[in-house]
């Protein structure tokens, strides 16, 4: 039987953000933007959605007097990602 896929993570951009953070633990906004190819506006909206769900933490600081947005995956986000991957595997293992 198929496991349900988390609709929040099923979005291509949100899944890409989570995939980057699962390996790096944290990343700055410009790095995520560059790696995903997303526009700043769309990326910001998707980061807000992941943050509101408790999947990532967003820290806004300054770096050399310039704004710096740092994103970190939370334990809840890590668990959701692992569950998403397991659910996806359940679809791939169907014979």
Q: Which helix (H) or strand (E) holds 56?
A: strand 56-63
The pTM for the full model equals: 0.90
Strand order in the sheet with 26-28: 26-28, 66-73, 56-63
Buried b (16+ CB within 10 A) or exposed e, 27-44: bebeebbeebebeeeebe
Residue 46 pLDDT greater than 80, yes or no: yes
Give domain limits for the chain.
Answer: 12-89
**Into which CATH architecture does domain 12-89 fall?**
Orthogonal Bundle (1.10)
Q: Which helix (H) or strand (E) holds 70?
A: strand 66-73
How does pLDDT run across 58-84, given as a tens digit for each residue? Answer: 999 888 888 899 999 999 999 999 999
């Amino acid at each position: 039987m198929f496991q349900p896929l988390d609709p929040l993570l099923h979005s291509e951009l949100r899944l890409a953000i989570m995939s980057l953070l699962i390996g790096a633990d944290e990343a700055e906004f410009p790095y995520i933007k560059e790696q995903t190819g997303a526009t700043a506006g769309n990326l910001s909206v998707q980061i807000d959605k992941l943050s509101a769900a408790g999947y990532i933490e967003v820290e806004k600081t300054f770096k050399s007097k310039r704004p710096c947005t740092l994103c970190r995956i939370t334990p809840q986000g890590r668990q959701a990602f692992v569950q998403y991957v397991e659910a996806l595997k359940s679809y791939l293992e169907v014979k």
